[in-house]
Amino acid sequence: MIRLIILVLVVSAILIVVGSYIASCVAEGLQYHYSDTLIAGFIALLQTLPEYAFIIILTLAGHFDYALMSIVGANILLVALGFPVIVFIGYISKVRGIRKDKSLDLLRENSVESIFLAISGVYMVYLGLKGDIDIVDGVVLLIVFVVYMFIITHLPPEVEEEEPKKLARFFAERKKIGLVAIIVGAIVIWYSAEVFTEGILEFSKQYVGSAIILVTVLMPLVSEFPEKLTAYIGAARNEDMARLGVANFMSSRINNGTLLFSSMMLTLYLAHGGTVVSLHTADFPMLPKLMIMAGILSLLGALTTIDRRITVMESIALFLVYIVLMYSLIHLEFLVYADMLMVIILAIILGYALKDRRFFWWSDLTYTLRELKFRKANQ
């Protein structure tokens, strides 16, 4: 029975990755034909479709705690592992700029992602302290996401390629086939996610101790794998692609911390008539603390960019945090020490930024909004 469940998990995970890869390629191809806000939002949805499938399926089944744990796990994967790996790959690959400066330099426009990442992180801490998430929180987070999307979809692209590559080029040249691929990819992702979720729940019933690892590590890994693998490959090419990879990670994390919560609450209301989800559950009694942890981690990740760069030392610190968090998920009594470690690192980063007068968020955001206003006036 266990072997059958594991086989189902493996096969469904592979199908989700394949479906996600197809959707991502179609999305990349679409970017060479469309640039308006609607299409940009549609592309973002395509690239994060597996995450929404997991959350909606779990919410429909009434497993709200599992859905929230999956969001927490995505936070850990994107920030504590995603950020440093991008920098490490660039440094080891001797990418010019990263190797010389021992840091990944960001653009002034990236302040938008950084600030909204910090805002969503602070809100997660608030939810953890409050002990629940209600329909009002869903509306507030939806507004935050809409404002964020409005700003980033009116900014110029960070990296411009002359032509889409490989499969993306195929879909860019064949729009009708691309449309069919979107539909097929979405169906594959949805039904595979449903089977994968059922397998996770069944496995958790028999091995309760493994549930937290499965939901916070395996689910986010499967849903994020295709897009993140592309970012890692790009990081080995040049600093522009590495910077774009970090920006994509921040954007995905903002999506997870805003619209994903809103989608969960909307599904809850439509399917069950509910308006509140308690974080205090029998299966995951530590969920409020994990939400606080995820919020602090997001704030830490955002603050590594406060001086318009992510250094190799900051990346090492984030990777250390990832190791400690993984250990804390197995031994939950150490979670408080993980929080303390993150707060200490956060304080050190903030202290150095103030000492060296490299606190650039406000000036960079002001510059970016001015650019946005200028572009709008000249359109």
- Sequence-ordered list of residues with C-beta below 8 angstroms from that of 41, at least 6 positions apart, any chain: 149, 153
Tens-binned pLDDT, residue by residue, of the chain (379 aa): 666 666 766 777 777 777 767 776 776 666 555 544 444 455 556 667 778 888 888 899 888 888 898 889 888 988 999 999 999 999 999 998 899 889 999 988 889 999 999 999 999 999 999 999 999 999 999 999 999 988 887 776 655 555 556 676 776 667 677 777 777 777 787 778 777 777 777 776 666 555 677 777 777 777 777 667 777 887 888 888 888 888 888 888 898 899 999 999 999 999 999 999 999 888 788 899 999 999 999 999 999 999 999 999 999 999 999 999 988 988 888 999 999 999 999 999 988 888 888 888 888 888 888 877 766 666 6
Q: What is the pLDDT of residue 322?
A: 94
pLDDT confidence of residue 363: 87
pLDDT at 320: 95
Q: What are phi and psi of 235, to 5 degrees?
A: -65, -25
Q: How far apart are CA 253 and CA 74, in angstroms?
A: 7
pLDDT of residue 156: 65
Q: Can you give the chain as a three-state secondary structure string? A: CHHHHHHHHHHHHHHHHHHHHHHHHHHHHHCCCCCCHHHHHHHHHHHCHHHHHHHHHHHHCCCHHHHHHHHHHHHHHHHHHHHHHHHHHHHHCCCCCHHHHCEEECCHHHHHHHHHHHHHHHHHHHHHHHCEEEHHHHHHHHHHHHHHHHHHCCCCCCCCCCCCCHHHHHHHHCHHHHHHHHHHHHHHHHHHHHHHHHHHHHHHHHCHHHHHHHHHHHHHHHHHHHHHHHHHHHHCCCHHHHHHHHHHHHHHHHHHHCHHHHHHHHHHHHHHCCCEEECCCCCCCCHHHHHHHHHHHHHHHHHCCCCCEEEHHHHHHHHHHHHHHHHHHHCHHHHHHHHHHHHHHHHHHHHHHHHCCCCCHHHHHHHHHHHHHHHHHCC
Identify the structural domains of the chain with CATH numbers, from first to last: 63-163+211-274+281-370 (1.20.1420.30)
pTM over 0.75? The answer is yes
